[in-house]
């Protein structure tokens, strides 16, 4: 589904290489986790895949179902089924959460040549999905992420994911800033979306999120490369011994 081959990326502003040849394939129905120390390039990978400005791809490719992601605008990537749950969801004063979600859902439907969702239908669907994430009507009415707690912002990301039903979900440190209860809620939301057709790439610092969202494959990223891949046991190894041992081993 998601295929990344030899991806090399520099910062546009300065001549600094962040990704130094990333290879990664996520199959439908699978959950891949990327772990790694600070500054290893995990978040950059998520931004480059979703089309954020400020990065220059110097080599390699990234495709979703064979379609060249890197040639597309961010909105086109979303339309073909890519979703990024932000590490720091953006506050947008003046835009109601509900308006935002409905605009997004219908923009994608329209771009795919599907009928737009009516206001009544939308309301029915969103209420049901918000309820399972414990997002109340008040939160849906408020401006996007404005005044939301850390946990509320992350739940709101998962709600967007549930509404947009993407094929390929990237979660960038969704566990950061969450207490145990909130993490459980977010993980339940993600698990509810797991299916045969959908792939996940979960970026995290810590193993604990992976207790709740069980990965099929775990990758260790360091200095712009994936240095080791393995099963869920790799995450436990990191938890117990830190990154130092693994990095020493592959060096």
Name the site residues for another protein (rule: CB under 8 A): 50-53, 73-75, 77-79, 83-84, 86, 89-95, 99-100, 103-104, 107-108, 111, 143, 160, 164
8 Å CB contact between 171 and 193: no
Nearer to another protein by Cβ, of 40 and 160: the residue is: 160
Alpha-carbon distance 172 to 88, whole Å? 9
Instruction: Identify the three-state secondary structure at position 11.
Output: strand
Nearer to another protein by Cβ, of 29 and 150: the residue is: 150
Instruction: Give the end-to-end CA distance of the chain in Å, rounded to a whole number.
Output: 30
Nearer to another protein by Cβ, of 13 and 233: the residue is: 13
Minimal distance, residue 251 CB to another protein, in Å = 36
Nearer to another protein by Cβ, of 103 and 149: the residue is: 103
Minimal distance, residue 133 CB to another protein, in Å = 17
Minimal distance, residue 188 CB to another protein, in Å = 22
Closest CA to 24 of 224, 158, 174: 224
Closest CA to 226 of 74, 45, 54: 45
Minimal distance, residue 51 CB to another protein, in Å = 7
Residue with tokens 């360091």: 222
Residue 185 is given by DSSP the state H
Minimal distance, residue 104 CB to another protein, in Å = 4
Q: Which residues contact 119 (CB under 8 A, 6 or more apart)?
A: 102
Pairing mode, strands 55-64 and 2-11: antiparallel
Nearer to another protein by Cβ, of 112 and 184: the residue is: 112
Count helices and strands (H / E) in the chain. 9, 12
Alpha-carbon distance 236 to 247, whole Å? 15
Q: How buried is residue 196: exposed, middle or buried, by Cβ count under 10 Å (0-12/13-18/19+)? A: exposed
Nearer to another protein by Cβ, of 172 and 175: the residue is: 172
Minimal distance, residue 250 CB to another protein, in Å = 33
């Amino acid at each position: 589904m998601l295929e990344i081959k030899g991806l090399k990326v520099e910062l546009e502003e300065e001549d600094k290489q962040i990704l130094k040849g990333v290879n990664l394939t996520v199959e439908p129905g699978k959950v891949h986790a990327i772990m790694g120390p600070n500054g290893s390039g995990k978040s950059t990978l998520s931004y480059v895949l979703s089309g954020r400005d400020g990065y220059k791809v110097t080599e390699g490719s990234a495709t979703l179902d064979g379609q060249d992601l890197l040639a597309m605008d961010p909105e086109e990537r979303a339309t073909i089924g890519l979703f990024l749950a932000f590490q720091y969801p953006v506050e947008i004063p003046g835009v109601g959460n509900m308006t935002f979600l409905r605009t997004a859902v219908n923009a994608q439907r329209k771009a795919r040549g599907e009928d737009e969702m009516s206001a009544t239908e939308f309301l029915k669907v969103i209420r049901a999905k918000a309820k399972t994430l414990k997002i109340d009507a008040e939160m849906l009415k408020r401006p996007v992420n404005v005044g939301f707690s850390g946990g509320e912002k992350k739940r709101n990301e998962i709600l967007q994911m549930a509404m947009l039903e993407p094929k390929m979900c990237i979660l960038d440190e969704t566990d950061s800033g969450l207490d145990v209860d909130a993490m459980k809620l977010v993980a339940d939301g993600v698990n509810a979306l797991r299916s045969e057709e959908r792939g996940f790439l979960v970026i995290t610092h810590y193993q604990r999120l992976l207790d709740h969202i069980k990965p099929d494959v775990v990758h260790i990223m360091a200095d712009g490369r994936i240095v080791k891949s393995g099963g869920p046991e790799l995450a436990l190894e990191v938890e117990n011994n830190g990154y130092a041992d693994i990095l020493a081993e592959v060096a």
